[in-house]
Every structure is written in structure tokens, then in C-alpha cells.
Structure 1
Amino acid sequence: MELERLNIFDEQYRHLGTATREEVHRLGHWHETFHCWFVCREKEENHLYFQLRSPEKKDYPDLFDITAAGHLLATENVKDGIREVKEELGIAVDYDELMPLGIAKYSVVSEQLVDNELANVFLYNWKGNLEDFQLRVEEVSGIVRVKLVDFALLISEQKQEVKVEGFTVNHKGERANTSKSVSRESFVPHEKAYYESVLRSIQEKLL
């Protein structure tokens, strides 16, 4: 995976060439990703779905993240990113069903990597059930949902914890229901501005 080649760009989204995934994260090259957020409405409440990253993941293990997301390879275009939904969640989604939320430019720096992303962000109106998710356990070890309004309050620091409900799955594929309160530290540390922008766009789409 670290040898996969990605397109690299400058901050103005001008194409500069390609580099391996390892080089991209080590040197901080701007690169393209695909983000797909699942949302559903139940009992007059909108809910966001989060994946639980596998404990085997190199980056951000055991943290809640965007429903489905991944890097776009140098040979791919934005529409090809839809493969991430099928690969990670086992859900077949048609690209035309997605609602585009724009391109989010953000940067996350940690001891392990410099992640400068040009994220193509989409929203998907999910009408299925938790039982429909067939997770790729080496990538994803659970799915939970949280009330949209509660997550927005968590990001704005007006709430310290939110309740998540869903299931986890072990390496054997065995599922267990989960329902608990979690803090901001339980989620991947995307920039606050990214979360705020995405939440604002989602709320506008749902009006």
C-alpha cells in the first residue's frame, strides 16, 4: 500500500506529478482523497454514521472516522473513489446517488505523517440497516451512528460527550452491539474547520 502512486498537487490544486503513498505522507505532498458520509433520518432526527478503524491500521487505529474514505490513486478520477464504500463497508452505491459537498483542503500533522489532503466530499442518504454492513475487518472494526445535532455540538465544544450506537466486529467476523458515550478524542483528529465545513454543508443539503 505504501508503494501505491498518488497524484500530487500544490495548494492551488495544480498537478505536479506523482509520488508513492509513503513519500506523500512523509514529505507532506498535497493529494486527492474521497470522503463519503452516510446520513439517515429516523424519528425526526438526522444521524451520521462513523466507521471504527481497525486496531491493525497504521494511522489512527481504534478511532471513529468518516463512514467511508480513501486515497485516489494516480490512475483514478473522483468517480472511482466510490470503490471505497464497497471495499470497506460492503455496500453497493452508485456514484449518481451521492450529493457532492465540495472539495475540502486541510492538513493534519502528527508524529507519524503529514497529511495534506484535497478531499472530495460526498453525502449519501442511507436507507438501510446496520445488518446490511459487511465490513472488511482488516480495515473497519465497527459501525456506529450519532445524532447529527449532538456531533455538531461536540465539534463546537458545547458538548463533552455524545452517545454512539451500532456494532463492533472482531477478526473472526463476530458482531457485538455497542452503545456508549464517547468524547472528541474518540474520533480521528481531522481539523475542526473540516468538521465544521462538512457539518454546515450537510445541514444545508438536509433543509
Structure 2
Amino acid sequence: MAQEILTTFDEQGNRTGTAPRDEVHRQGLWHETFHCWFIRKDDSGLRICLQLRSQQKKDYAGLLDITAAGHLLAEETALDGIREVQEELGLAIAFDELQPLGVIPYQMNYAGFMDRERAHVYVYESRYALSAFTPQLEEVAGIVEARFADFRSFISGADSKLHVQGFRVTANGERTCIDELVDFTQFVPHEHDYFRRVIEGIERLYRV
């Protein structure tokens, strides 16, 4: 399989060249990603959707994460990132249905490599029930939701646990229910400032 080639950047966001994905992570080079957060309205108010990463993933296996996300290749723009929704969640949505939150730079240090991302972040107001999601099992093991107000309190540190509900897919393809309290050890360790900016962006969009 051909190595993915990514565009690299300096800390100011200026392009510096291209490099293979493994090299980008090994050297801790800045690169671009696409993030899409699903929001859904119901009778209880606004809800936010999280993916449960597959246990097959090389990094952050089995942790809760952004609804859909992925790297942008050197020849791609943020518009191309919409493929991540189709690939990871099995849902066909159009790029013009997304609401942009801008580019959020952040970094994570994990298992000996520095992941430095310039994330193009979007919000999608979902019309889909969780039963409509068809996760790509190599990438996504399940989908859960939480009340947005609870998620905001959890990220701010006001609450140490977050109530999530949804499903996971077992090795034989069966769906089992998730209805539990989770803590920060069960989340991909994105910077707190990243989560804060996402929450503030959703608050502006929905005036909550």
C-alpha cells in the first residue's frame, strides 16, 4: 500500500513541503486534518455524538473521539475531508451541509510521537438516528451520544463523569447497547483548549 503523503506546515501555518505520514508523526510536523462533530436535536435538547475507536487502531484504540475525522492528503482540501463521514460512519452527507468552526491548531504527545494538527473543524446537524450509522469496523467500533450541556460541564471540569448512550459492534457484527458513565481516561487526549473552542463554536451556532 502506498504511503500517504501529507502537506507540512510551520507553527505559523505556512507550508513547508510534504512528507510521508509516518515521517510527519515521527518528526512531529504540523499537518492538516478534517474534523466533523455531529449534533442532534431532540426533546431533551441538544446532543453531541462521539465515535468509539476500533480496538484495531494503531493509536488511541478503544477510546472515545470526534464523530468523524481523518488526515488531509497533500493534494486535498478540507472539502475532500467529507469522505471521512462516508467511510467511518456509512452516511452520505454533502459538504455544504456542514457549518465551519475554523482551523484549530493543537498537539498531542502519544506513545513517543508528537501529533501536531491544523484541524479544519465542522459541525453537522444530524438527521440520522444512531441505528442508521454503519461504522467501518477497522476504524470505528461504535457510536454514542451525550447531552451537550453535560458534555460542556464534563469538559469544563464541573463533572468528572459523562453519561453516554449508544452502541458498540461486537467481533461477530452484533450491536450491543452502551449506557454508562465515562471519564477522561476513556477519551482521546485532545488538548483542553481544542475542546473549549469546539464547545464555544457550537454555543455560537445554537445559542446555548
TM-score category by the smaller chain? over 0.9
CA distance in 2, matches of 1:98, 1:111: 33
SS of equivalent to 1:92: coil
Tell me which residue corresponds to 1:180. 180
CA shift in 2, pair 1:49/1:73, >3 Å: same
- For structure 1, the 5+ residue unaligned runs are none
Tell me which residue corresponds to 1:59. 59
CA distance in 1, matches of 2:41, 2:112: 37
CA distance in 1, matches of 2:34, 2:26: 20
Tell me which residue corresponds to 1:123. 123
After superposition, what is the alpha-carbon deviation per residue over 1:180-203, rounded to whole angstroms, capped at 9, x for unaligned? Answer: 011111111000000001001011
Tell me which residue corresponds to 2:42. 42
After superposition, what is the alpha-carbon deviation per residue over 1:105-124, rounded to whole angstroms, capped at 9, x for unaligned? Answer: 00111224210000000000
Q: CA deviation at 1:75?
A: 1.6
Q: CA deviation at 1:30?
A: 0.3
Q: Aligned residues, how many?
A: 207
Q: CA deviation at 1:44?
A: 3.9
- For structure 2, the 5+ residue unaligned runs are none
In the TM superposition, 1:131-170 aligns within 5 A as: 131-170=131-170
After superposition, what is the alpha-carbon deviation per residue over 1:29-69, rounded to whole angstroms, capped at 9, x for unaligned? Answer: 00000000000111141110000000110110010000000
CA distance in 1, matches of 2:172, 2:200: 38
CA shift in 2, pair 1:3/1:197, >3 Å: same
Structure 1 residue identity aligned to 2:82: I
TM-score of the superposed pair, with normalisation by structure 1: 0.97
Which range moves more in the overlay, 38-47 or 157-166? Answer: 38-47
| Cα pair 1:2 1:22 within 8 Å, conserved | no
After superposition, what is the alpha-carbon deviation per residue over 1:140-163, rounded to whole angstroms, capped at 9, x for unaligned? Answer: 000000111111111111101011
CA distance in 2, matches of 1:113, 1:50: 24
| Cα pair 1:2 1:21 within 8 Å, conserved | no
In the TM superposition, 1:32-111 aligns within 5 A as: 32-111=32-111
Q: Alpha carbon RMSD of aligned pairs, Å?
A: 1.1
CA shift in 2, pair 1:2/1:21, >3 Å: farther
Which range moves more in the overlay, 158-167 or 9-18? Answer: 9-18
Q: CA deviation at 1:2?
A: 8.5
Tell me which residue corresponds to 2:203. 203
CA distance in 2, matches of 1:118, 1:79: 15
CA distance in 1, matches of 2:172, 2:83: 24
SS of equivalent to 1:52: strand
Structure 2 residue identity aligned to 1:84: E
CA distance in 2, matches of 1:165, 1:34: 25
CA distance in 2, matches of 1:171, 1:87: 19
1:16 pairs with 2:23: no
Identity %: 46
CA distance in 2, matches of 1:159, 1:129: 27
After superposition, what is the alpha-carbon deviation per residue over 1:47-97, rounded to whole angstroms, capped at 9, x for unaligned? Answer: 100000001101100100000000001121110000000000000010000
Q: Which runs of 4+ in 1 moved over 3 A?
A: none
